[in-house]
């Protein structure tokens, strides 16, 4: 197997500024970190959204993802989302204090 560096091209792409502006506005407008329970709920919703994106939207292009669908994978994504939300909340609180 040979690797040729000329077989790949880098195509310059511009960022999608309208999408970035809308997502930045949405993230800055809503404050879901008022309590631990709300943080866990938002984290679970984030984990569920990542699960749906990974195993339904991306599975169109990578069919082997469809084989991994199931409740255990969904539970892992929910736990990941809740953990990420709690860690974000803790790190944000420490940053505000120090």
Condensed to tens digits (0 to 9), the pLDDT of residues 39-68 reads 888 889 989 998 998 888 888 888 888 888
Residue 30 phi/psi, 5° resolution? -95, 135
Q: Are 32 and 39 in contact (CB under 8 A)?
A: yes
Rg (CA), the chain: 19
With a threshold of 0.75, does the pTM exceed it? no
SS3 category, 7: helix
* Stretch among 3-17, 36-50, 69-83 having the lowest mean pLDDT: 3-17
């Amino acid at each position: 197997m040979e690797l040729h560096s000329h077989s790949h091209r880098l195509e310059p792409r511009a960022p999608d500024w309208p999408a970035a502006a809308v997502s930045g506005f949405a993230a800055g407008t809503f404050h879901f970190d008022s309590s631990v329970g709300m943080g866990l709920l938002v984290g679970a919703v984030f984990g569920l959204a990542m699960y749906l994106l990974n195993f339904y939207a991306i599975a169109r292009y990578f069919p082997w993802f469809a084989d991994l669908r199931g409740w255990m994978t969904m539970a892992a994504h929910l736990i990941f989302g809740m953990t990420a939300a709690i860690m974000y909340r803790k790190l944000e609180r420490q940053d505000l204090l120090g």
